[in-house]
């Protein structure tokens, strides 16, 4: 039996697939509520908002006098297990084989919660839980956490904390422990160009503005031939890195060749330092293009009456969702594309915990103790997420650490966690919590 094996067996068996209509979301929330009651947690609650699935909240008070509160963020919902035929074991049965644990959610994010509970249980069993612990375990992360901003605002007082331990993270390809201190912001929007009531015959092209061409030419003004963003003012708003942050970026590594081979890239990297670009360079991505005739064969000599592009921006601290979109709008206008409609704006801001914050330094120093194979610190992940909303309510620094390995297949078949990594993560938390308490 490994720590929390019984809990994890029951937790994994619950099909809390938030993207499926026929799921066990309610049962899983109730299971967690009962479990926290059982282990003697306090103030256990199911938190609801008007949007989507409930979250589970629980407190475990320090066993020694402590002024430090640590908030753990996890989620109990999981991705669908399909395609089922690619699994080598039942996805909803915890399976152990050759030192590896398998099951849907074993990494993302049920196994992570189990390891956290194991560390806390060990400390409590020794009568030494050194910090006040809070858990917020939401049920719609795999839906994009649509409830989280509302929920955080609604339960702002309940969620007060000095330090926040985020979900996800683990070991990278080289076996180093990744600790991420933030997220890039993400901004989605759409551009639409129209002319005429319906598609026309392309024999009229010599005298008619083609929305597809206009979209292409407008987009081309937003980047240069080297793929660099040319939106006026866009790059000027970026907050310069501190000395510590610069050092973290300089120390970071990314094996572009391994990545390229893994996903089948045929084009060379666009930047000299991919590791730095991933954390610190904003990007403007065309997610989709759509116009005119897209079926088989030739283009049917059609002159489209509409064209649209879906795009996203990844932004970094200093940039905001609203202002970067305004700069895109201004760039289009300045280039004569006032007619292009910009709509469907959705975004999450960027966020980085201050690496000079004493609790962050403690977390990194402790990680180096627990992970002699090395620690890879990231200023922020390349992706986006609701981390900034947590920071907004209590200004506590946030780090992402977890039990993954480079082949954990978080959303894929045969999702897995190496048992030794699970145990090492428990050890790390048992060093981390007392260290945080000592600050």
* Collapsed DSSP state (helix, strand, coil) of residue 18: coil
Strands 351-352 and 100-102: unpaired
Within residues 279-338, the interface with its own copies by CB under 8 A covers: 281-294, 297-304, 307, 309-312, 314, 336
Among the candidate windows 14-22, 231-239, 261-269, 321-329, which touches its own copies by CB under 8 A?
A: 261-269
- Residue among 98, 206, 236, 243 that touches its own copies (CB under 8 A): 206
* Token reading at 245: 């942050």
CA torsion 179-180-181-182 (nearest 10°) is: -170
In 34-87, DSSP assigns E strands to 42-47, 55-60, 69-75
For its own copies (CB under 8 A), the number of binding residues is: 83
Measured CA to CA, the distance from residue 165 to residue 117 in angstroms comes to: 13
By CB under 8 A, is residue 339 in contact with its own copies?
yes
Q: Which is nearer to its own copies, 24 or 145 (CB)?
A: 145
Task: Look up residue 298 and give its two tokens.
Answer: 């030739």
Part in contact with its own copies (CB under 8 A); list of ranges 59-67, 154-162, 236-244, 252-260: 252-260
* 18 or 394: CB nearest its own copies: 18
d(CA 150, CA 107): 27
Q: Does 264 bind its own copies (CB under 8 A)?
A: yes
Q: What is the distance, to the nearest Å, from the Cα of residue 380 to the centroid of all Cα atoms in its chain? A: 10
Q: Which position among 200, 326, 342, 431 is part of the footprint of its own copies (CB under 8 A)?
A: 200
By beta-carbon proximity to its own copies, the closer residue of 1 and 225 is 225
The least CB distance from residue 189 to its own copies, in Å, is: 8
Per CB under 8 A, contacts with its own copies among 368-427 are 381-384
Stretch of 77-85, 93-101, 185-193, 389-397 lying at the interface with its own copies (CB under 8 A): 185-193
**Residue 220 sits in the site that holds its own copies (CB under 8 A):** yes
Q: Which stretch binds its own copies (CB under 8 A): 39-47, 233-241, 263-271, 319-327?
A: 263-271
Residue 104 or 214 having the CB closest to its own copies: 214
- The DSSP code sequence of 327-353 is HHHHHHHHTT-TTSEEEEEEEE--EE-
């Amino acid at each position: 039996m490994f720590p929390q094996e019984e809990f994890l067996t029951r937790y994994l068996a619950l099909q809390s697939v938030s993207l499926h209509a026929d799921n066990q979301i309610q049962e899983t929330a109730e299971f967690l509520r009962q479990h926290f009651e059982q282990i003697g947690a306090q103030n256990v609650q199911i938190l609801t908002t008007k949007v989507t699935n409930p979250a589970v909240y629980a407190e475990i008070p320090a066993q020694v006098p402590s002024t430090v509160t640590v908030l753990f963020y996890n989620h109990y919902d999981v991705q669908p297990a399909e395609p089922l035929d690619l699994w080598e074991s039942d996805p909803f049965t915890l399976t152990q084989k050759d030192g590896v644990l398998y099951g849907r959610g074993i990494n993302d994010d049920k196994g992570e919660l189990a390891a956290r509970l194991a560390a806390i249980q060990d400390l409590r069993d020794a009568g030494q839980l050194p910090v006040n612990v809070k858990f917020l375990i939401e049920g719609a992360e795999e839906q994009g956490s649509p409830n989280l901003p509302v929920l955080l605002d609604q339960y702002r007082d309940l969620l007060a904390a000095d330090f926040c331990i985020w979900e996800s993270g683990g070991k990278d390809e080289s076996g180093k422990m990744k600790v991420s201190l933030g997220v890039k912001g993400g901004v989605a929007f759409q551009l639409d160009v129209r002319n005429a009531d319906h598609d026309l015959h392309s024999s009229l092209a010599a005298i008619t503005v083609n929305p597809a061409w206009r979209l292409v030419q407008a987009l081309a003004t937003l980047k240069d031939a080297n793929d660099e963003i040319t939106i006026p003012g866009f790059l000027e708003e970026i907050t310069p890195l501190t000395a510590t942050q610069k050092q973290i970026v300089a120390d970071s590594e990314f094996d572009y060749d391994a990545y390229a081979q893994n996903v089948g890239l045929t084009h060379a990297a666009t930047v000299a330092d991919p590791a730095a670009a991933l954390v610190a360079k904003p990007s403007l991505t065309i997610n989709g293009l759509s116009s005119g005739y897209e079926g088989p064969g030739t283009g049917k000599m059609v002159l489209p009456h509409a064209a649209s592009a879906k795009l996203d921006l990844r932004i970094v601290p200093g940039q905001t969702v609203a202002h970067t979109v305004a700069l895109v709008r201004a760039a289009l206008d300045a280039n004569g594309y006032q007619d292009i409609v910009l709509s469907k704006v959705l975004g999450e801001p960027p966020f980085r915990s201050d690496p000079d914050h004493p609790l962050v330094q403690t977390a990194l120093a402790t990680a180096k103790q627990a992970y002699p194979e090395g620690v890879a610190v990231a200023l922020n992940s390349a992706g986006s997420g609701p981390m900034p909303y947590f920071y907004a309510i209590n200004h506590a620094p946030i780090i992402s650490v977890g039990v993954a390995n480079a082949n954990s297949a978080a959303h894929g078949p045969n999702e897995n966690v190496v048992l030794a990594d699970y145990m090492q993560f428990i050890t790390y938390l048992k060093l981390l919590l007392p260290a945080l308490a000592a600050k």
